[in-house]
Structure 1
Amino acid sequence: MTILLVAFLVMNVVGLLIMGEDKKRARKHQYRIRERTLWLVALFGGAVGTTAGMQLFRHKTKHVSFKIGFPVIAIVELYLLIRFLL
C-alpha cells in the first residue's frame, strides 16, 4: 500500500509540474510538451495533479477535452485509490 501511495503522490506532483512547465514554455514561445505526454501522465495516476495544474496555471482551460477529461480521470483515480486502500 505504501508503494501505491508514493507512486500516486509522485505522479501527481509530476502532473502539476509538467502543466506548469508547459505553460512557461507557451509564454516563451518555446518547444512545447506534447499533449499526448500530458494525457499519459494523467492516465497513469497523475490526473489530480494535472487538473490542479490546469487550474493553478490557467493552462489548457479552453480545451474542452482537457477541461472535462482531466477532472473525470482524477475522480476515477481517486475512487480506485480509495477502493484499493479500504
Structure 2
Amino acid sequence: MNAQYWIAIGIVVNLITLSLMAYDKSQARKHGRRVPERTLFLWAAIGGAAGAIVAMRIWRHKTKHPSFVFGMPALLLLHVVLLYLFLQD
C-alpha cells in the first residue's frame, strides 16, 4: 500500500477522533449519554491523537484530566516516532 493510502487513513481516523470528542463535549453540556474515555483513547491510540489534541484545544474538553493532558501528546509522539521508523525502510 502506498503512502497516499496511509495518509488518507490517518486523516479519517483523526477526523473520527475529533468528532467523537466534539460529540462527547456536546453530550456533557446536555447531561446526555457520554462517549466512554476508553473509546476516546482507543481512537487516539490507533492514530487519532492529533485529532484528540485539536479537539481538546477547540472545545476545552478533557483538559482537567491528566490522563488526557499527558496521554494524548505521548500517543502523538509515539505515532511520530513510529512513522519515522516506518519511513526509514
Measured on the aligned residues, the alpha-carbon RMSD in Å equals: 1.2
Match of 1:37 among 26, 36, 39: 39
Deviation per residue, 1:7-49 (Å, 9 max, x gap): 1111111111111110000000000000110010000010110
Greater Rg, structure 1 or structure 2?
Answer: 2
Superposition TM-score, scaled by structure 1 size = 0.91
Superposition TM-score, scaled by structure 2 size = 0.89
- Aligned length, in residue pairs: 86
Structure 2, unmatched stretches of 5+, are none
Residue 62 of structure 1 aligns with which residue? 64
Please identify runs of 4+ aligned residues in structure 1 that moved more than 6 A.
Answer: none
- The share of aligned pairs that are identical, in percent, is 42
